[in-house]
């Protein structure tokens, strides 16, 4: 079975991520195929817009194929740990700068790499089944695929909260945070694609808006004052102290979630988001490629994947084991230029 499917019909280039048994997790082959097809469709006058969806009824895309990255990094038998991130980030940039409407049908689980092939598009459609998260610090990574750019640009400190806690949010919160642009019921997605195919002369936004419905109350809006107050603190330790002092239920949950994550990656992620807030998109991706290669050379990614995916004991032994043991020099070292050369965009 092909891992990714393409169909151009009625002016719509339709992409289907086709690994439902793996929650449509991205492989390097899928990244390469999507990049090539998007470039071809960009110059095809018969394709007015692109629509991307996930196969099955559980996920749009739950991330990258971290087991393949784990195996590659452990064996050091190939260059996947560099090639995957380099080509994935170039794809993210292609989507961000795409010259035609790019409509992501974010139905079901969307995390990590799935966010990268959706959130940078012009139209991001959430459904009542959408479940978004950026949980990377829980497996020894950092909120990548452009998280440096879009998370700090969420309202207030909402993006810092999402990136440091890995909080899972649904459609209303995705709209509030700017992660989604519209809410369309799952039952209407096929009709929406059909309308896009029939909509010669109609703006994509107008067509999508005809199918959009209210998504309900956003819990992020309810908790926003506390989020802005606590996550404005200058260090991970200070954020945790502010959450403890707050004492509300959401603050207790956020404090617990942060305490389960890699201490080193929490500190790296906070600095990443602070820097990303003032960087253009391409510079964010250069920074993230540096971070990805430092993560692939560090202990916590392999320990995090072991605990979450391989042994599934949910008990990672992080190194360093506490925030106090993570030095300023160690954090800064993640951001240094790569000896082998930084990411570029040919």
Nearest Cα neighbor of 267 from 335, 211, 341 is 335
Catalytic residue among 65, 88, 107, 136: 136
Find the helix or strand (DSSP H, E) in which 16 lies. strand 12-17
| 144 flagged as catalytic | yes
* Residue with the two structure tokens 């996920």: 59
Tokens found for residue 39: 């470039």
Catalytic residue among 64, 108, 159, 166: 64
Residues sharing a CB contact under 8 Å with residue 103, sequence separation 6 or more, in sequence order? 49, 50, 51, 52, 121, 122, 123, 125, 196, 204, 208
| 136 flagged as catalytic | yes
Strand pairing report for 59-61 and 182-183: unpaired
Cβ–Cβ < 8 Å for 130, 180: yes
Catalytic residue among 13, 54, 113, 146: 113
How far apart (Å, rounded) are the C-alpha atoms in residues 84 and 26? 10
Sheet arrangement for strand 102-106? 4-9, 12-17, 49-54, 102-106, 123-126, 182-183
Catalytic residue among 3, 144, 246, 303: 144
Angular region, 257: left φ>0, alpha ψ -120 to 50, beta rest: alpha
| 228 flagged as catalytic | no
Please identify every residue annotated as catalytic. 64, 113, 136, 144
């Amino acid at each position: 079975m092909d891992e990714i499917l393409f169909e151009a019909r009625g002016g719509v280039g339709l992409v289907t991520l086709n690994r439902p048994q793996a929650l449509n997790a991205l492989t390097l082959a899928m990244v390469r195929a999507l990049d090539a097809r998007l470039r071809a469709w960009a110059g095809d006058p018969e394709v007015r817009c692109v629509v991307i969806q996930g196969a099955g009824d559980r996920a749009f895309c739950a991330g990258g194929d971290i087991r393949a990255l784990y195996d590659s990094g452990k064996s050091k038998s190939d260059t996947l740990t560099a090639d995957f991130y380099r080509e994935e980030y170039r794809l993210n940039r292609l989507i961000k700068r795409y010259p035609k409407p790019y409509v992501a049908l974010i139905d079901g689980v969307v995390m990590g790499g799935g966010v990268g092939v959706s959130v940078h598009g012009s139209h991001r459609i959430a459904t009542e089944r959408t479940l978004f998260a950026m949980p990377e610090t829980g497996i020894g990574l950092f909120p990548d695929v452009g998280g440096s750019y879009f998370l700090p640009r969420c309202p207030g400190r909402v993006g810092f909260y999402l990136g440091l806690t890995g909080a899972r949010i649904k459609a209303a919160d995705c709209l509030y945070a700017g992660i989604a642009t519209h809410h369309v019921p799952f039952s209407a997605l096929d009709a929406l694609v059909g309308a896009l195919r029939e909509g010669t002369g109609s703006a994509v936004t107008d067509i999508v808006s005809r199918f959009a419905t209210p998504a309900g109350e956003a819990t992020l809006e309810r908790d926003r004052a506390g989020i802005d107050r606590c996550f404005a603190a200058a260090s991970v330790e200070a954020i945790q102290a502010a959450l403890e002092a707050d004492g509300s239920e959401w603050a207790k949950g956020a404090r617990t979630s942060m305490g389960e994550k890699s201490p080193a990656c929490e500190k790296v992620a906070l600095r990443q988001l602070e820097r990303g807030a003032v960087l253009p998109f391409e510079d964010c991706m250069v920074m993230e490629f540096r971070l990805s290669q430092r993560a692939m050379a560090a202990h916590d990614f392999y320990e995090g994947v072991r605990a979450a995916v391989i042994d599934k004991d949910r008990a990672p032994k992080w190194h360093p084991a506490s925030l106090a043991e993570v030095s300023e020099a160690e954090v800064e070292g993640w951001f240094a230029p790569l000896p082998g050369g930084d990411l570029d965009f040919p």
